[in-house]
Amino acid sequence: MKRALPALALLCSALVLAAQTPPTALIEGTVVAAAGQSQPLARAQVILTRVGGGLRDTLSAITDESGRFTIRDIPEASWRLFVEHERYLRAEYGQRLPDKPGMPITLASGQNLKLVVPMTAAGAIHGRVVNEYGEPLRDASVKAWTPRYEDGKRTLSPLKAVSTNDLGEFRIFGLNPGSYYVSAERARAPQVSGGLLISNSPLAPATSVVPPSSFATGIDLAVYYPNTNERGAAPIEVRPGAGAETGNLIIRHLASGVHVRGTVSVSGTIPIPPDIRIEVWRLGGQVRMGEVPIHQLTVMLAPGTDSSTFDFSEFAPGAYTLEATVGKTREEIQQGKVDIEVGETGLTNVDIRLLPYFKNVSGKVVVDGRPPSNNDPDLANFRVFFPDAGSSTTRIQPNGSFVLPVFAGGTYKGSRLTLMDLGKNWFVKSVTLDGNDILQNEFFLSTKPHDPIEIVISPNGGMLDGIVLDEGRTPLQSATVVLVPNEPRRARFDLYRTATSDAAGRAHIEGIPPGNYRLFAWDNVIANQWQDPEFMKAHEARGVAMTFQEGGKLQAEVKVIAGGGQ
């Protein structure tokens, strides 16, 4: 009897502990291929992470041969479930498309949830790079690019890069379904240094054989699919689990490059003749990590002069940005840049005008309809940022004043002004620089502003509550909802407003400036592609016309545009 007492006590303790431990949840699921959702995927890794949790708030499982998995002992919380597989794109439970977010899973104690997670097979682009004689080019750099849009202009952003093999073949894999641009360029020629042959190919061992053509003089032209330059590049469509073929990409060799000639000038006469550094970037470049100038040149100003000529030789035809800089400290630096298009005969009369940075340019933020105050709590929360001014983010004082430590000369658009931490329903009504309304018009600044920059803001923006429907009038999650201003304000990119529809298809937008708009929704569109007039021509009729008054509140239904900009 005495021996039974400890065992009875342990049993009672276990029962008490079990009563105190809340029941956990369980997920049973199946991972399948998205096409048809019938092929189970074995050996997929399933990862469950707690929303807002830390690194330890993660549970995982591996699917069996039937694609099934079980995750037990899940605490009550909200979770996100991801799945990874070698040949498929990373998937999240509840997502409609591979690059769209999924839905959180809210689990209650004791809940047993059964679900299916479809995965989309990755696509690929393959082809071959040859010279104009049809001979394969090894170690050529082949890139897949995705388009991006800024201020209504399309530029290309590099996504992935590979090198060709000894047969000139390449394969870029692991791609989402969609449209891509493809380019190929010759490997940079090796150099002889100190009696050693230095190869620039990251894949080439020290003993690699270097083709004699690598030492040829002249210019190898980068080629874009389908065998054109960047301006003429056409997208190639990648489908799930399929390979898109470019065919032969032909890199042409020019016996010599062309000349780009012009004049670079500074503002005022600089006492000590300085060196002016001119860099050449791919048009739309320099904003991405890893890019380096294509060409560099230094020219000298003659004593007592404010300009000098420059001459770039060995230029390849294409679109570029020339950027010139003089000076070392912020007080003496002047900068200028110009975009150029170089043809096969070269380019002359390029004019680069350098402008200085002005110190301590003051400004003031005014709340529309509110009397001036030395301690406005709303204004103390804002920060102002002029991306073109060369100045960092500046906090606004409680009386609305601010000072930009530096302000670069140049052309300004008030629509590029950013007021950070601005409340949801606030909007910018006007921006005035030296008496000019730069929110509506561009303004060229060559001298320090005489008057403070004045920014007028309002807390009475319009509000929109919309719902996105598919063709069957079912609410659609994760659609991109865009409010686009009507002409003639369509080039005012500060007026555009965007949102993403939730699980019920709802989208809420605040801070809408007064005016006429059209409301659109796309299921898959490239960010800011709606700023491109050519893109909008195909979709204009699908928009819902809306007019907002200051402080107005509207509701609308909008049908999704399938396919978007892909």
pLDDT digits (tens, 9 = 90+) for 78-99: 999 999 999 999 999 998 888 8
CB 27 within 8 A of CB 82: no
pLDDT recorded at residue 199? 54
* Residue 165 reports pLDDT greater than 90: yes
Domain regions of the chain by residue span = 18-119, 123-254, 259-353, 357-458, 462-559
Class assignment of domain 357-458? mainly beta
pLDDT recorded at residue 17? 44
What does the DSSP assignment read for 296-321?
EEEEEPPTT-SEEEEEEEEEPSEEEE
Which residue in the block uniquely carries the two structure tokens 């054109």?
Answer: 228
The model's pLDDT over 110-158, given as tens digits with 9 standing for 90+, comes to 999 999 999 999 999 999 999 999 999 999 999 999 998 888 888 888 9
- Residue 383 CA to residue 386 CA, distance in Å, equals 10
The contacts of residue 563 (CB under 8 Å, 6+ apart) are 523, 524
pLDDT recorded at residue 203? 46
pLDDT recorded at residue 287? 46
Reported confidence tier of residue 385, pLDDT bands at 50, 70, 90: confident
The pairing of beta strand 453-458 with beta strand 355-367: parallel
Domain 259-353 has CATH 3.30.160: no
**Which position has the higher pLDDT, 441 or 484?**
484
Reported confidence tier of residue 441, pLDDT bands at 50, 70, 90: confident
Residue type, 419: L
- Residue 244 CA to residue 235 CA, distance in Å, equals 11
Residues 356-364, mean pLDDT to the nearest whole number: 88
pLDDT recorded at residue 133? 95
Reported confidence tier of residue 212, pLDDT bands at 50, 70, 90: low
Please give the biggest Cα pair distance in the chain.
112
User: How many Cβ atoms from other residues are within 10 Å of residue 291's Cβ?
Assistant: 13
Residues 252-278, mean pLDDT to the nearest whole number: 82
Fold category of 123-254 in CATH: Immunoglobulin-like (2.60.40)
Whether the upstream peptide bond of residue 226 has omega within 30° of 0, thus cis, is yes
Whether the upstream peptide bond of residue 101 has omega within 30° of 0, thus cis, is no
The model's pLDDT over 219-246, given as tens digits with 9 standing for 90+, comes to 888 999 999 988 889 999 999 999 999 9
pLDDT recorded at residue 55? 73
Domain 18-119 and domain 123-254, same fold? Reply is yes
Query: Which CATH superfamily is 18-119 part of?
Result: Immunoglobulins (2.60.40.10)
- Residue 383 CA to residue 478 CA, distance in Å, equals 30
User: How many Cβ atoms from other residues are within 10 Å of residue 290's Cβ?
Assistant: 6
Out of 255-269, 381-395, 489-503, least confident range: 381-395
Residues 505-530, mean pLDDT to the nearest whole number: 95
* Residue 249 reports pLDDT greater than 80: yes
- Residue 246 CA to residue 224 CA, distance in Å, equals 10
CB 447 within 8 A of CB 334: no
Reported confidence tier of residue 190, pLDDT bands at 50, 70, 90: low
pLDDT recorded at residue 162? 96
- Residue 402 CA to residue 398 CA, distance in Å, equals 10
Residues 451-480, mean pLDDT to the nearest whole number: 93
Out of 135-149, 198-212, 490-504, 506-520, least confident range: 198-212
pLDDT recorded at residue 145? 95
**Percent of the residues in the chain that have a pLDDT greater than 90, as a whole number:** 54
* pTM reported for the whole predicted model: 0.80
**Which position has the higher pLDDT, 14 or 520?**
520
What does the DSSP assignment read for 384-431?
EE-TTTT---EEPPTTSEEEEEEEE-EEE-GGG-EEET--TT-EEEEE
CATH of domain 462-559: 2.60.40.10
The pairing of beta strand 141-150 with beta strand 123-131: unpaired
